[in-house]
Structure 1
Amino acid sequence: MTKYKVAIVGGGISGLTAAIYAAKAGKRTIVLEQQKQLGGRAITNKKQGVYFNLGGHAVYKGEAYEAFRELGLRLDGSTPSVDAYGLWKEQLLPIPTNISSFLQTPLLSWGGKIELAKWIIKLGKMDTSVWNQISIRDWIETQLHDPMLRNVFYALLRTSTYVFAPELHAAGPALKQVQRSLKGVLYLDKGWGTLVEELRELAVQQGVELITGCKVVAVEHQDQKVHSILCKDGTRIEASNVVLTTPPSISHKLVPHADQTALEMWNKQTIPVTVACLDVGLRHLPYPKHQFIYGLDQPIFFTHQSREGKPRPAILSDNGTKVISLFKYHGPQTDAAKDESDLEKVLDVAQPGWRNELVARQFLPKITVVNDFPHMKRIENPGPAVSEIEGLYVAGDWVSHGELLADASVASAKRAVSQILNTREVIKL
């Protein structure tokens, strides 16, 4: 039996990142992925020459971006403009993002515009961590005065976090994400599948063994120490360190006697987040100026992912097809038929006649955005080490210490490898 220093369960962004850092540090590493392809929710589907992510994806200038650059990834893509509209009572009104829209938009009163300008200046240099212990709702209701500006900020923070729970989401991490968005986000050419492929290639170069189609059924441990992984086909893989990048419920299920470890609490405190997503590929945009829309009176977001950027548009098709992504952020109750209808109605307002230009479409009625986030009911931040079992670690979007989305996936992966290497600080290779 071959023994590995590091075995990683899950071949998504977090698992591949952890594998690369572990291998670069000289540790024999294996990745076990249940699906036949790597990438998890970062895969890209191609339909009629159009590249569809599993929901619209953007790279923020945060921990993930910094790590990917540190690893030498190309990250080919485009940074879109910041011109935006707010959807209010089925009308599209410009959101002030430049001098022209600031002066002309009827969305905000002069008082609201001045208040917005002040907050944009503040956000650029504000230490957002001072707001880590209060909710988005408490922050907005105590810090903002103009009623419509409050609606704008609810939409901005919802879009930055992908979470429709302002009474639960911690304000500090959400505001930090808005700070990052002001620096510009990145839409990747041909979708996030290109990022997965770059990570895969780098992992192979570093000597990582990648196994797909392998279902792990248990992480075996004895005397409070990890010793092997058992797969469904009976294969047993010996490893002195195991990093679980699976969702919290699955991580809990894979570890015998998990109820006697921190995994029990981490699993119980999670609040998964889902959205309905409609992606469409259009030959032409009936109204090109409507490219970035926040729902102000409904939890909706619209973005033209292939819109013109500098120095060029993001490439999301083989033939120039324009790609639009729409989201409806879920609350506790969901209705797939109504969600799809609501998203189509937004398209009718933003791009009337879009059906005549349709090349391809993808509707995802309920896709998981994150398995957990920094919320007010959290007892503690999870991971990376499961202290009751030596050699067992967790990573993924739910293993957040304040980071959000892909940033949480990557930051937690680096934390896990740092502890495996017995370093005091997050690795920098």
Structure 2
Amino acid sequence: MTAKYDVVIIGGGIAGLVAALCLAKEGKSVAVLESQGQMGGRAITNKKEGVRFNLGSHALYFGEAYAIFQELNLMPDLFKRVDEFTPYGIWKEKVYPFPVGISSLLKSPLLPLSDKVKFGAILMKVLKLDTASIPYMSLRSWMEENVDSPMIRNLLYVLARGGTYVQAPDLQVAGPLFKQMQRSIKGVYYVKKGWGSLVDQLCKEALRLGVTLLPLKKVRSVEHRNGQVQHVQCADGEVIDVSHVILTTSPKVFLKLIPHAEHTSLKLWEQQAIPITAACLDIGLRSLPNPKYQFVYGVDQPILMVNASRVKGLELSDDGDIQLFQMIKFLGQSSDPQEDRKQLERAMDLVQPNWRREVVAEQYFPKMTVVHDFMHMKRTENPGPAVPEIRGLYVAGDWATHGEYLVDGAAASAKRAACHILSREPMRV
């Protein structure tokens, strides 16, 4: 028997679920095919010893994704905003106040007095920038044109990395990056009970709208003829008749699913993609040895450390007193998993002495994918939403960004694909 839907979405992560909801709200019959045993992709949450661990640290700012989640009527108490925080920075094996506010700027010894005034002025300039008007140039080029102090540049690079989870100043396009920095400086949202609870809400709403969710459904190929999608061939032998397919897999995966993909824009999009990875160490602690240090940047090393439990009401553990400390090392072209972990642990020794005595559970991913691509200077075109050579084929995902970062890229590209399928008609959201 052959199934039939208006739209099939391959991949059940954030992009796939958002696209499904946007389409289902407009009355389309939708199936989401996920090769893994559960929906969510990299947004799942695992529980160990009563502690809820995401797959590495995640960031949600007041951007496209947050707005789309609100449009999709997710529970309003799902997101907890961090309005104020006191950041610190590690510099030459010592911890100092990181200068982002007036108080920390005055206290921080990272800058001489003259540079403190300059840095404060530049931060205000960044917050007020009309990012759309910035010429097409890399972050490093913008810095060299606008900032003469090496240390101020360094601190701005740290903030750029912390707001985007991408460390590539020679490649990052300045305009989209500064837009993301503006959002990150203004605040961040955490997801109650981890990002898995966001996936649960998306799935619940999808089922309510009649979306068919199919975990453990591996796709063999998306067949097309005469430049038009015909059907989806599943690994279990099932054939799904469909005229519209949205690919939300990584570029390397979707190339294997589309016959003759090398003759389409998919090949170019895969070739120009630059994945970003990070080593992620999360630790659940019975108590925090040094409660002062809740958010720490690496100034002279590419790390970021965050106590996610500093936000009240998150429920990140069965025992409400457990502190969940998340650490990231942003990786370059080569890395050593053991050395990367040791570097994170040494930073933890500096920030939270004797932390090993307090460990309840931990999780380490030596090479997590942060994004499969981002807005960079080597791009020749932005991917999607439609694949021009094959009618009815679309793409979405963090890599299909048109300037958005992280989950904003996933959600925004999903909505773009859905809008294209709906002939760009306004959606009832």
Shift of 1:428: 5.6
Deviates more, 1:312-321 or 1:16-25: 312-321
2:98 maps to 1:109: no
Alignment equivalent of 1:192, drawn from 195, 205, 220: 195
Q: In 2, Cα distance between the equivalents of 1:161 and 1:131?
A: 18
Contact 2:230 2:241 in 1 (8 A): yes
CA distance in 2, matches of 1:251, 1:25: 26
Matched, 1:137 2:135: no
Q: Give yes or no for contact 2:78–2:198 (8 Å, CA) kept in 1.
A: no
Q: Does 1:226 align with 2:229?
A: yes
Equivalent pair of 2:26/2:428 in contact (CA under 8 Å): no
Q: CA deviation at 1:313?
A: 4.9
Quote the offset at 1:31 in angstroms: 0.4
Letter in 2 for 1:65: Y
Q: Tell me, in whole angstroms, the C-alpha distance in 2 between the residues paired with 1:389 and 1:101.
A: 54
Q: 1:170 aligned to 2:176? A: no
The aligned counterpart of 1:4 is: 5
The 1-side partners of 2:334 and 2:401 are apart by 25
Which one is further off, 145-154 or 387-396? 145-154
Structure 1 match to 2:97: 94
Match of 1:265 in 2: 268
Deviations 1:268-315 (A, max 9, x none): 1001111000000011111101111111111111111111x4xx3532
Which consecutive unaligned segments of at least 5 residues does structure 2 have?
Answer: none
Q: Name the SS of the counterpart of 1:55 in structure 2.
A: coil
Residue 394 of structure 1 deviates from its aligned partner by 0.4
Which one-letter code corresponds to 2:413 in the other structure? S
| Alpha-carbon distance in structure 2 between the residues aligned to 1:372 and 1:268 | 11
For 2:301 and 2:144, locate their aligned partners in 1 and report how far apart those are by CA, in whole Å. Answer: 18
- SS in structure 2 at match of 1:141: helix
Q: Does 1:393 align with 2:377?
A: no
- Hey, what's the Cα distance between the residues in 1 that align with 2:375 and 2:302? 20
CA distance in 1, matches of 2:135, 2:91: 30
- Residue type of the partner of 1:303? V
Instruction: Give % identity.
Output: 50
- 1:244 maps to 2:244: no
C-alpha contact 1:281 1:359 (8 A) present in aligned 2: yes
In structure 1, the gaps of 5 or more residues are none
Select between 214-223 and 105-114 the one with higher mean Cα deviation: 105-114
Which residue number corresponds to residue 370 of structure 2? 369
CA distance in 2, matches of 1:183, 1:176: 11
Partner of 2:315: 315
- DSSP-derived class of the 1:87 partner: strand
Q: Secondary structure at the residue paired with 1:301?
A: strand
Q: Is the 8 A contact 1:77 1:315 kept in 2?
A: no
**Cα deviation, residue 334, structure 1:** 1.2
Distance in 1, matches of 2:34 and 2:12, equals 5
What does the per-residue CA deviation read over 1:173-205, in whole Å, with 9 as the maximum and x for residues that have no partner?
Answer: 111111111221011121100000000000001
Q: Partner residue of 1:151?
A: 154
How big is the alpha-carbon RMSD for the aligned residues of Structure 1 and Structure 2?
A: 1.3
Tell me the SS of whatever aligns to 2:283.
strand
Contact 1:229 1:238 in 2 (8 A): yes
Q: Distance in 1 between matches of 2:78 and 2:331?
A: 31
Q: What number of residue pairs does the alignment pair up? A: 425
CA distance in 1 between partners of 2:90 and 2:325 (Å): 16
Tell whether 2:374 aligns with 1:351: no
Q: TM-score normalized by structure 1?
A: 0.97
